[in-house]
Structure 1
Amino acid sequence: MARMTWSFTPERVGTPDATALRRDYFGDVAGRYFGRVLSEDEYDEDMIDEGLERLAPPAGEFLVGRYEGRPAACGGIVLLDGGRAELTRVYLRPAYRGKGGADLLMEGLERAARALGARRTVLNTRLDLVEARALYVRHGYGEIPAYCSGPYMEIWYGKEL
């Protein structure tokens, strides 16, 4: 029944809802990394906006999920090389977790990846983001060798579509 209250649609990353969700995503993952809630002056707009140009057709897409009409989730897909697409900024606001949206978001991102021509999806995350890691494993993602590097990347996953 909860699935009926969700809707997921492609949206430009610069809309007010998409921007607020991206900012909340960054606040959540950075806050967990530092072990505290970030103050307003600690948000790094460059990091929040990094790579956004890739989250639009023809090489990417950004989905916004709404629960009963309220912006509640987001995720992006970026076409890489050789038929691979990367999932990025996969996020559900805490108040909407446990309502079936994470599974629907993953399904939508994988559909978007296939529509872009991807045959495989990959992603990277941190070890402390245990809920995200459990979601990926539940959706058939397995640990793979690193395909990229960065300061906040500790584990990599992949899945054949």
Structure 2
Amino acid sequence: MLTNWDITPADVHGPEAAAVLREYYRDIVGRYYGREATEAEIDAAMAEDPSGSLVPPDGLFLVARAPDRPSAGPLGCVGLHWFGGGKVAEIKRLFVAPAARGLGGGVRLLEAIEKAAKEGGATLARLDTRSDLVEARRLYAANGYEEVAPFNEGPYAEHWFAKQL
């Protein structure tokens, strides 16, 4: 387990965020199709589901790095968008690069975004995910998230989770 994760806010429109988000989409699009995603498929997915809502004041985007691996660049990310006057925080784009999986990054990112959500006034965190993202579903369940009734109609949303903060 990598214990020294450096998780900090980043401009979702900046080059560092663009790089890690492209890897996020490469991963989820490839898993969706059951093969390596093409650049065109990644571009289409990014255009279909943009990350522009993950900016202050109604959003936040965090990037994870390993200080002892500076050449590795960003190893993960997570974002959130506040709703309901800030009382609800929807978690988006939780991702750990394949090379860094199993090192505790998912838990660290989840803890960091929950802390930010609480500091922003949220009392409930929610998220959706797909059935094929079994590791994500295990992570959420292991960290206190419970499956709830659907709260959106996202084209790829198949499981909905929530947690009181």
Q: TM-score, normalised on structure 1?
A: 0.93
Selected match of 1:130 from 117, 134, 140: 134
Q: Is the 8 A contact 1:59 1:78 kept in 2?
A: yes
The Cα shift of 1:48 comes to 1.6
The Cα shift of 1:2 comes to 2.3
Amino acid paired to 1:124: D
Gaps of 5+ in 1: none
Q: Is the 8 A contact 1:27 1:38 kept in 2?
A: yes
Amino acid paired to 2:2: A
Paired with 2:163 and 2:6, the residues of 1 have a C-alpha distance of: 24
Q: Is the 8 A contact 2:29 2:41 kept in 1?
A: no
RMSD of Structure 2 on Structure 1 (CA): 1.4
Identical columns (%): 43
The Cα shift of 1:51 comes to 4.2
Selected match of 1:72 from 56, 75, 82: 75
Paired with 1:129 and 1:57, the residues of 2 have a C-alpha distance of: 28
Counterpart in 2 of 1:141? 145
1:44-55, aligned counterparts within 5 Å?
44-45=43-44, 47-48=45-46, 50-55=49-54
- Size of the aligned set, in residue pairs, is 159
Counterpart in 2 of 1:36? 35
Paired with 2:9 and 2:161, the residues of 1 have a C-alpha distance of: 24
The Cα shift of 1:123 comes to 0.3
Counterpart in 2 of 1:2? 2
Paired with 2:40 and 2:20, the residues of 1 have a C-alpha distance of: 18
Residues 1:97 and 2:101 aligned together: yes
Paired with 2:8 and 2:115, the residues of 1 have a C-alpha distance of: 12
Q: Cα deviations across residues 47-81 of structure 1 (Å, max 9, x unaligned)?
A: 42534332111111000000233310000010011
Counterpart in 1 of 2:13? 14
Report the secondary structure of 2:52's partner residue. Answer: helix
Paired with 2:120 and 2:22, the residues of 1 have a C-alpha distance of: 26
Question: Structure 1 runs of 4+ off > 4 angstroms?
Answer: none
Selected match of 2:154 from 131, 150, 158: 150
Report the secondary structure of 1:8's partner residue. Answer: strand
Gaps of 5+ in 2: none
Q: Is the 8 A contact 1:60 1:116 kept in 2?
A: no
Report the secondary structure of 1:52's partner residue. Answer: coil
